Amino acid sequence: MSNWNLNEVPSQSEKVAIVTGANSGIGYEVTLGLIKKGFEVVMACRDMQKAVEAKSKILLQYPKAKINIIMIDTSSLKEVKKFADQFQTQYKKLHLLINNAGIMMSPHRVTDDGFENQFATNYIGHFALTGLLLPILTSTSGSRIISLTSLSYKWSEIKFDDFHFKKGYSKTKAYGQSKRACLMFAFELQRRLSAAGYDTLSIAAHPGLSKTNLDRYYPALIRPLGSLFLQPAAKGALPILFALLDNDLKGGEFIGPDGFQQMRGYPTKVEADEYSNNKEIAKRLWTESEKMTSVFYLS
């Protein structure tokens, strides 16, 4: 897998992918990569204008690309449900679900569902989306679900006594918790898919440190510094594309960049820490997530 890139993947037609947060950064580059390989991509975005602009940019490069935009706000359970309903009225198969949309270190906000915003946007919305789309995923041969996590998962454990930071908000810990949850979800999802006898794969992936709009909440003076040491978003998308397209991968694996401290580089298999591999904590997180979303699956 050294220096893996898209040229190693054969073209695939008649296959459908959903990318949440497809208009920017990693999601945009993953969309572009999948289009290049012949997939039809549903860009699941929250801002129609940004989505249309991104779609137009892709069509300039790939005029025959099959791209559909369906609106989603992953921070709202009502909107996630609306997306899932709309998708399933239009499509009868789903090969790839890329749970990518995210925000980082945002100011404190409580969503309409009463959740801390980073936890809701990055994790809870995707937990619900996956559950709502599970029937179509499991009935599509060779389907995969990729959960985007981050090196920052180490910034926090799961705060079972205060998921929503009611006792005091930390924007770094809230991001860390959300990304820890995405990672543990990917592992637990695979265990549950296997136990139920499904061949759908769940894989976790992270893009190292990549130049995207994720730093939008950083002070304006600091943002330009990113360009000096972050890898381009297209490079950061490679571990995600590898997780999506490499035929030798098994479910429950974790993919990241192969360079120094996993900050940049080409895709490789990486290890999660002991806490993230703890099956009891993952089970508890799953049960709590079902209660929070009222989406019950594989349980």
Ligand X SMILES: NC(=O)c1ccc[n+]([C@@H]2O[C@H](COP(=O)([O-])OP(=O)(O)OC[C@H]3O[C@@H](n4cnc5c(N)ncnc54)[C@H](OP(=O)(O)O)[C@@H]3O)[C@@H](O)[C@H]2O)c1
Q: Known catalytic residue: 175?
A: yes
Q: How many residues does the chain have?
A: 299
What is d(CA 11, CA 209) in angstroms, rounded to the nearest whole number? 28
Residue of 31, 118, 143, 150 that binds ligand X (CB under 6 A): 150
The stretch near ligand X (CB under 6 A) out of 58-66, 72-80, 194-202, 265-273 is: 72-80
Residue of 9, 15, 16, 24 that binds ligand X (CB under 6 A): 24
Which of the following is catalytic: 28, 153, 175, 297? 175
The residue whose Cβ lies closest to ligand X is 25
The stretch near ligand X (CB under 6 A) out of 95-103, 128-136, 241-249, 274-282 is: 95-103
Q: How far is the CB of 149 from ligand X (least distance, A)?
A: 7
- Amino acid identity of residue 232, one-letter, is P
- Pick the closer one to ligand X by CB: 21 or 251: 21
Q: How far is the CB of 271 from ligand X (least distance, A)?
A: 17
Q: How far is the CB of 96 from ligand X (least distance, A)?
A: 16
Please give the residue ranges that form the binding site for ligand X (CB under 6 A). 20-21, 23-27, 45-47, 50, 72-75, 100-104, 121-122, 148, 150, 206-207, 209-210, 212-214, 236
